[in-house]
Amino acid sequence: MSEKSESAKEKRMPSKPKPASPAARAVPGPKPVAPDRAAPKPKPVAEENLNPYEFALLQFERAADHLGLDTGVREVLSTPKRQLIASVPVKMDDGSISVFHGYRVQHSIARGPSKGGIRYHPDVTLDEVKALAMWMTWKCAVVNIPFGGAKGGITVDPKKLSLGENERMTRRYTSEISILLGHDRDIPAPDVYTNPQTMAWMMDTFSMTKGYSTLGVVTGKPLAVGGSAGRNDATAEGCFVAIEEAARRLSLPLNGATAAVQGFGNAGAAVARFLDEAGVRVVAVSDSKGAVYDKRGLALDAVSAAKEKKGSVTAARGERITNDEILELPVDILVPAALEGVITRKNAARIKAQIVAEAANGPTTPDADDILRAKGTIVIPDILANAGGVTVSYFEWVQDLYSFFWEPDVVRTHLERTIRRAYDEVDGMARRYNTDLRTAALILGVGRVEEATRIRGLFP
Ligand code: NAD
């Protein structure tokens, strides 16, 4: 196991601002910059960069330009606080040993303990985890909850593990990263291919090494062990509320509108259900094996049953299309709810949806953002569209600390209020800075983290 704190400097864009003076490094406040002067100029790039960490940095720099942050502050805010890489040896069912690579990155603790999910996927890399951790920091600030950002993951295909192997891997990984964890330090949650059971194992492992139960060390737990009502659907519910806000501003009635959802998992399947309940015709959904399309609208119960029985939504009735084609369907609302980097410079011009609601983290590259903005597409950015999950994680953490649990309607009311308020604030920033919703959300989030950092000052 090794703990690194590598600088992100070398990986920045070519046009780096000049080095800051010692005074500037004392983390002063942002200098107000006139919106037109601050507007980022698109940079010609020979080939689109699909490294999520590099495009997270590019997004950050756009917001930092608007806020007029100097180089020193940019470095403080964009460099991950801690990065841990752990080897995770696991005894497999056949008696052999496999060693997996696990990561936990804490991007910031300026506004409170760091918070962020755990991903199990064959494509997990340190850079992906760093990007996701940074987005968590801005997301928590956008919805104004007292957390910093973190993320974790293991490079593994969990579909190839038995339940027992998955449990042993989870417990060993938890033990390896436990030096960072704690209800007042760093609090994981589920992400791609992890779920409430994973969180129960993590909480139990952490608690057993302490000798007492610490429910608040992870969120997204089952109800029986300190979970919150409404957490399973929280990401989707928040995403749906954000779609309602966008549709209202576009005067687009949801009843009768059409939608496509890429990624029929925790987030995507529930967004599809919320849309369906609001009268939206969900014409296509997908998973890692492909997509299913029926322009008359899919019967979502039948899609779920097909996924349950045959392992994929593609077994449901309808036309089989690809995960690329689903993005370009003629629909009003597109919900990317799988992985990052799927809407790129190559396909952005062909996206037909009026609203792109990013249930997934990082599905749109900065180049694609520029193309969509020029087309007038409303992109509800991930750090707003999927913030319902971490919002209810925060409620779960509060309930665990108080050992007092809320009724489902209380959770729902607070969640809805939080997302509507955040949407209003982001929309206000977009008008004030004459920019798109992503940059506006980043200006709001980065601005709040910058304020906390400045007020705290630099140690020592
Ligand atoms: P999940 O594992 O439940 O679902 C992921 C879905 O994506 C599955 O349907 C899977 O088949 C599909 N998928 C995997 N690889 C794919 C590929 N290459 N192409 C198309 N589809 C593919 O995960 P989740 O928790 O729903 O997370 C999905 C996204 O939402 C991620 O970006 C995650 O970071 C984000 N998110 C999740 C939460 C949450 O509370 N679960 C919160 C905020 C953001």
Q: What pLDDT digit, counting tens, does each position of 123-134 carry? A: 999 999 999 999
Instruction: Indicate if 275 and 218 belong to the same structural domain.
Output: no
Nearest to 132 by CA among 343, 381, 327, 383: 383
Select which of 139, 151, 221, 307 is catalytic.
151
Task: Give the model's pLDDT for residue 269.
Answer: 98
Ligand 1, residue 362: give the atom nearest the CA.
32
Q: Is residue 39 part of a domain?
A: no
pTM (predicted TM-score): 0.90
Instruction: Indicate if 289 and 180 belong to the same structural domain.
Output: no
Q: Is residue 329 part of a domain?
A: yes
- Helices (H) and strands (E) in the chain — how many of each? 14, 13
CA-proximal residue: ligand 1, atom 33 (nearest) = 360
Ligand 1 center from residue 89 Cα (angstroms): 26
Task: Give the model's pLDDT for residue 48.
Answer: 81
Instruction: Indicate if 325 and 352 belong to the same structural domain.
Output: yes
Q: Is residue 206 part of a domain?
A: yes
Ligand 1 center from residue 434 Cα (angstroms): 32
Task: Give the model's pLDDT for residue 5.
Answer: 36
Instruction: Indicate if 143 and 251 belong to the same structural domain.
Output: no
Is 375 tagged catalytic? no
Q: Is residue 322 part of a domain?
A: yes
Instruction: Indicate if 216 and 289 belong to the same structural domain.
Output: no
Q: Is residue 400 part of a domain?
A: yes
Instruction: Out of 225, 260, 281, pick the residue that ends a domain.
Output: 225
Instruction: Give the CATH number of the domain where residue 337 resides.
Output: 3.40.50.720
Instruction: Indicate if 246 and 342 belong to the same structural domain.
Output: yes
Instruction: Indicate if 435 and 295 belong to the same structural domain.
Output: yes
Ligand 1, residue 190: give the atom nearest the CA.
41
- Rounded to 5 degrees, what angle do the CA atoms 242, 243, 244 make? 90
Ranges in the chain, pLDDT < 70: 1-47
Instruction: Out of 171, 193, 225, pick the residue that ends a domain.
Output: 225
Instruction: Indicate if 236 and 362 belong to the same structural domain.
Output: yes
Q: 212: domain range?
A: 80-225
Tally the domains of the chain.
2
* Beta sheet of 186-190, edge-to-edge order: 2-4, 82-91, 97-108, 148-155, 114-121, 186-190
Binding pocket residue ranges, ligand 1, CB within 6 Å:
190-193, 235, 262-268, 286-288, 323, 337-339, 359-361, 386, 389
Ligand 1, residue 119: give the atom nearest the CA.
34
Task: Give the model's pLDDT for residue 50.
Answer: 80
Q: Tell me phi and psi for residue 296, to 5 degrees.
A: -80, -10
Instruction: Indicate if 213 and 261 belong to the same structural domain.
Output: no
Task: Give the model's pLDDT for residue 6.
Answer: 35
Question: What's the CA gap between 105 and 57, in Å, rounded?
Answer: 15
Ligand 1 center from residue 124 Cα (angstroms): 13
- What CA–CA distances, in Å, run from 22 to 27, 91, 202, 292, 428? 10, 52, 43, 57, 34
Q: Is residue 264 part of a domain?
A: yes
Instruction: Indicate if 218 and 354 belong to the same structural domain.
Output: no
Task: Give the model's pLDDT for residue 46.
Answer: 55
Instruction: Out of 225, 250, 283, pick the residue that ends a domain.
Output: 225
CA-proximal residue: ligand 1, atom 29 (nearest) = 360
Ligand 1 center from residue 265 Cα (angstroms): 6
Instruction: Indicate if 118 and 207 belong to the same structural domain.
Output: yes
